[in-house]
Amino acid sequence: MIEHFVSLLTSADGARPRVLDAGCGAGRMLPLLARFGADVEGVDLSPAMIRRAHRDHAQFTTRVGTLTALPHDTASFDGAFSWYSTIHNPDSDLPTMLAELARVTRAGGCVLVAFQAGEGERDASGAYRERGHDIVLTRYLRTPDDMSAALEEVGLEVIARLERPAVGGEREPQAVVIARRT
């Protein structure tokens, strides 16, 4: 689905399509997006994650920023990529996050959102607490229908969806939605 997403993108000047990895964490998806042909940049809320992304993937531009107020110009990317980033924010933040992804994506570009599918909230702190960290981490689940509707609410047109059951050690089904900015 990631390769398909990048294949949908074109740049205005014929160069490699510019993609924002919104919520890039330590940057593990940056090289994959680049391998599929994207000129990629990352943004993440955590300064520690951005330091690690810069250390491990110095060839990519990364910076600190929030998904609810991306530090990028309007229509500055051909695509926006959110790989399991929206799961850390409550439903009340979702419209703003998706509107920001749409805002930084140029007309004709696409937004990809990957997430754990389901309903409700899950405590995701267990493994961290077992290692001695005093942390509360909540994972927010959404159905593919709810995510699709939320993308359409911010003016995007859903063009592809994928949902699969949980496999291996996963606890939840997984979903990806791709939407085009018209």
- pTM of the complete model: 0.93
Please report where in the chains the tokens 């399991």 appear, as a residue. 84
For residue 135, the enclosing domain spans 2-181
Q: How many domains, in total, are found in the chain?
A: 1
Distances (CA, A) of 12 to 17, 24, 75, 106, 181: 8, 24, 11, 9, 14
Residue range 116-149, pLDDT digits in tens: 999 999 888 776 677 777 777 889 999 999 999 9
Domain CATH for 9: 3.40.50.150
3-state helix, strand, coil in the chain (%, to 5): 30, 35, 35
Distance CA 131, CA 128 (A): 5
Sign of CA dihedral 47, 66, 141, 18: negative
